[in-house]
Structure 1
Amino acid sequence: MTGAEKAAILLLYVGIDATTKVFQHLDDMDIKKISQSMASLGHVSLPVIQEVVDEYNKITSPDAGFFSQGDEFVRKILEKALGVSKADMLLQELHTTSIGDIEDILSEMDAKTVANFLSQEHPQTIAVIVAKLRPKQTSDIIAHLPLDLQAEVIIRIADVDQVSPEILKDIDDVIRRELTSLGGVQSFKVGGVEKVVEMFNHLDRSKEKHILDKLDVMNPPLAEVIRKHLFTFEDIFKLDDRSIQAIMREISNDTLTLAMKASTEEVKEKVFRNISSRAAEMIKEDLEVMGPVRLSDVEKAQTEIIKIVRKMEEDGKVVIAGRGGDDVLV
């Protein structure tokens, strides 16, 4: 048995409430794997249950095996753990295609290898494939594609919204011919502008600027939309002072100092106004004595701070009313 099958048996045995709590701590990929196993288990015998329970050092004494409730059980758990909307999206993907298998395959490969493999494919095919991956992996792969191909793929990711099962089956064959579609008549969301923006947030600034410059020529409206939605380091300092103060408390002085190396005087002034006078003096001194630094190190520090701000936004600690901003120049 695979790990997903063992997890499915154990969770089906302990019931919906316990499974719901477990699912709340898993990522989407693990939930999809376990849900697929749940839906396909059928009858599970007592010896198999006992074997799984023993392996997980659980004490149990069931009187008989059970028959998997399949889709209905999965739906109830997903809805309780993730909400109706997200549950519907995951179930739709489970029933429409074996695209999760593609994600598993690509997740085991480094970005450069995947980019070399995909670079021979049509930009539309590349877009559909990478749009289903995690944003960080998507950005890494695109960064390794030929320069002339990068903007082409970005445009198509933004345009890809609904994909038919037939197209997904063709793409399955491109990646691994032995994979087959699970069928279904629905289509599901794989891309869109939101996906592009999320992917851009994982690119370094120089790569981001290069692609946006290309998009300015190839598709100006799309470039404008992306810029409006991108949240930059400078955007943090367009927030109100109370929000900035909350953000500053979550950031180390070393990270903040390095991130400010490329900042304007206006940004620096706003930072100093929203931290303690002692911390401000220390950062000013460090900036004065700091020698040349690599642009990539500055961007890394800024990206780290942006991630902290996004997490705070998710937790409701700050409210970001608008997005947008200019590139940072060093």
Structure 2
Amino acid sequence: MTGSDKAAILLLYLGPDATSKVFEHMDDVDIKKISQSMARLGHVPRDVIQGVVTEFTDITNPETGFFSQGEEFVKKILEKALGVQKAESLLQELRTSSIGDMVDILATMDSKTIANFFSQEHPQTIAVILAKLKPKQTSEIVGLLPQELQAEVVIRIAEVDQVSPEILAEIDEVIRKELTALGGVQRFKVGGVEKVVDMFSYLDRSKEKKILDRLDALNPPLAEVIRKHLFTFEDIFKLDDRAIQSIMREVSNDTLTLAMKTSPDDVKDKIFRNISSRAAEMIKEDLEVMGPVRLSDVEKAQSEIIKVVRKMEEDGKVVIAGRGGDDVLV
């Protein structure tokens, strides 16, 4: 049993009055976890109760355990502790949170294991689930799927903007049964083009290119939209000189040198114009004597610089026009 399961059994045993007083001193996250456990416990055997609240064994019914009173019990204590409006909002989350539980389970699993399992599922099912995972894990799993599935799943992640609670519950049930270890009119945002673009930021350039090339054949408009939103190492040098100078001050010479290994001459020239002459000479010398390097190492260095640019954009230190809309700089 989880800690929230044990807490739920104890509070159910103590009753609504004591439970509401306890909830007044807890944050929403913990209340939600315990309430979920309460709502799904069902029958709790006497020996389980004894294991959780051994100090109360002298007053525990020796014949049976008890049945959780389910949602009505949860609703009553939430209203008493939080008020009617906040309680109803939290209950709505509880009714439709099973897909979130599965996300927590998948987050602890190896990406290769998940990809092997999903390789037998329909692309739409895969997309709905992957769209709920963190971008890094999503990219790892997509990269490990059979090649013929990768672009299909990416298309569906971009298209699956909203999904009904009923479908989420159905997918959750099917996946749970198949893994064996492993809510209504409201709809939930789980995907979209932004999710795909975020996912691509964790893919290496070769896999990114293969998927985009396949998308060109399967869904050209989507491929064009994704390319418009993707920010590449070369795009940095379409910025003005002041922005480039700010970025270069945040990047080490070693990382910059490696990232420039495959850059065209016009990109190199723009970099050299926006760093000190001493740094430029050092990088030129290093590039001249640098032997063969892995493409993956170059792409990793470029990705590190891209992350620096994204962080600077988030902090308002640089402005990148044209990303996510028709931005115009004036």
Superposition map of 1:285-304 within 5 A: 285-304=285-304
2:33 counterpart of 1:37? yes
Give the 3 Å change call, closer, same or farther, for CA 41–132 of structure 1 in structure 2. Answer: closer
Superposition map of 1:90-109 within 5 A: 95-109=95-109
Give the 3 Å change call, closer, same or farther, for CA 113–174 of structure 1 in structure 2. Answer: same
Structure 1 contact 41–68 (Cα < 8 Å) conserved: no
Question: For residue 267 of structure 2, what is the amino acid of its counterpart?
Answer: V
Equivalent-residue separation in structure 1 for 2:91 and 2:265 (angstroms): 50
Question: For residue 69 of structure 1, what is the amino acid of its counterpart?
Answer: L
**What is residue 159 of structure 2 aligned with on the other side?**
159
Paired residues, number: 271
Give the 3 Å change call, closer, same or farther, for CA 273–219 of structure 1 in structure 2. Answer: same
Structure 1 contact 251–305 (Cα < 8 Å) conserved: yes
Give the 3 Å change call, closer, same or farther, for CA 172–257 of structure 1 in structure 2. Answer: same
2:69 counterpart of 1:69? no
Question: For residue 206 of structure 1, what is the amino acid of its counterpart?
Answer: S
TM-score (norm 2): 0.73
2:315 counterpart of 1:315? yes
String of CA shifts for 1:163-210, please: whole Å, max 9, x gaps. Answer: 01111111101221499xxx3431111011111111111111000000
Structure 2 portions without partners, runs of 5+ = 8-19, 39-77, 325-330
SS at match of 1:262: coil
SS at match of 2:112: helix
Give the 3 Å change call, closer, same or farther, for CA 296–39 of structure 1 in structure 2. Answer: same
Alpha carbon RMSD of aligned pairs, Å? 3.3
Equivalent-residue separation in structure 1 for 2:94 and 2:249 (angstroms): 42
User: Looking at both structures, which has the greater relative contact order when contacts are Cα pairs under 8 Å and sequence separation is at least 6?
Assistant: 1
Give the 3 Å change call, closer, same or farther, for CA 35–162 of structure 1 in structure 2. Answer: farther
Equivalent-residue separation in structure 1 for 2:6 and 2:300 (angstroms): 39
Give the 3 Å change call, closer, same or farther, for CA 37–3 of structure 1 in structure 2. Answer: closer
SS at match of 1:133: coil
Structure 2 contact 24–82 (Cα < 8 Å) conserved: no
Structure 1 contact 155–222 (Cα < 8 Å) conserved: yes
Structure 1 contact 157–195 (Cα < 8 Å) conserved: yes
SS at match of 1:185: coil
**What is residue 268 of structure 2 aligned with on the other side?**
268
Give the 3 Å change call, closer, same or farther, for CA 288–169 of structure 1 in structure 2. Answer: same
